[in-house]
Amino acid sequence: MKLIFVAGIEDSGKDAILDMVLTGSKHRLPPFDYVRFDDVFFNKEKSISPRFGHRALAESMDFSGNAGQITKAREQICKKLDSKLKEKSNVDKFIIVNGYFIINTLHGYVPVVSEQFFSSFKPGMIVLMEAEDSDKSRHMLKRGPEYPESVRIQQEINRNYASLYTSATDAVLRIIKVRHGDIKSAIRELREALFFAMK
């Protein structure tokens, strides 16, 4: 099994961009399985939009209690993901995982997957998609004045986790900036990253 992990905040448009790349390139890429965190954590029948996966996950788990309950919920998440990936493990196939490093809860940021997960599955590449911070993107996304700081903090945490997991696994780290009004560049960069990782 050769794993590629794609992460990023929701406002980066990660889900839509990755879906477009995989749909448009599936006949030119080597055989692969596609695993989305949202499909693993939620039943597909539930009407939860993938765009709001982080928020839906935070709301669906009991994060209203103490730190012990948060740890227990996180362990359950990791077990589900571990089981799903082992189900799909096939040495002749790549697995592209559409996920996230952290979720933002009422009590703070909670890591979703652990270093042990990355050490076990050893991705060959980690792709981190980041939203551009600009007045235009903030206006288009109907975000308030706190938006730039919130995005900056979450993307900084994501970079820290991406660097940690890259070091632990010898993976290649690719950071793709998604600029408002220039989604084609992000699609091209992600396609190039996947072709490189899947050679």
pLDDT digits (tens, 9 = 90+) for 80-111: 888 888 887 766 789 999 998 988 777 778 88
pLDDT confidence of residue 64: 54
Per the model's pLDDT, the better-predicted residue between 145 and 89 turns out to be: 89
Q: Can you spell out the DSSP letters for the chain? A: -EEEEEEE-GGGTHHHHHHHHHHHHTTTSPSEEEEEHHHHHS-TTS---GGGHHHHHHHHS-TTS-HHHHHHHHHHHHHHHHHHHHHH--TTSEEEEE--SEEEETTEEEESS-HHHHHHH--SEEEEEEE---HHHHHHTT--TTHHHHHHHHHHHHHHHHHHHHHHHT-EEEEEEE-TT-HHHHHHHHHHHHHHHT-
Contact 129, 19 (CB under 8 A): no
What would the pLDDT profile of 27-81 be if each residue is shown by its tens digit? 899 989 898 988 887 655 343 334 345 555 555 554 555 667 777 777 777 888 8
Residues 6+ apart with CB under 8 A from 46: none
pLDDT confidence of residue 135: 47
What would the pLDDT profile of 156-192 be if each residue is shown by its tens digit? 999 999 999 999 899 999 999 998 788 999 999 999 9
Question: In what order do the strands lie in the sheet containing 2-8?
Answer: 32-36, 94-98, 2-8, 125-131, 172-178
Backbone angles phi, psi at 88, to 5 degrees: -95, 0
**pLDDT range class, residue 139, cuts 50, 70, 90:** very low
pLDDT confidence of residue 56: 54
Domain residue extents for the chain: 2-197
CATH architecture classification, 2-197: 3-Layer(aba) Sandwich (3.40)
Residue 23 pLDDT exceeds 60: yes
pLDDT confidence of residue 138: 47
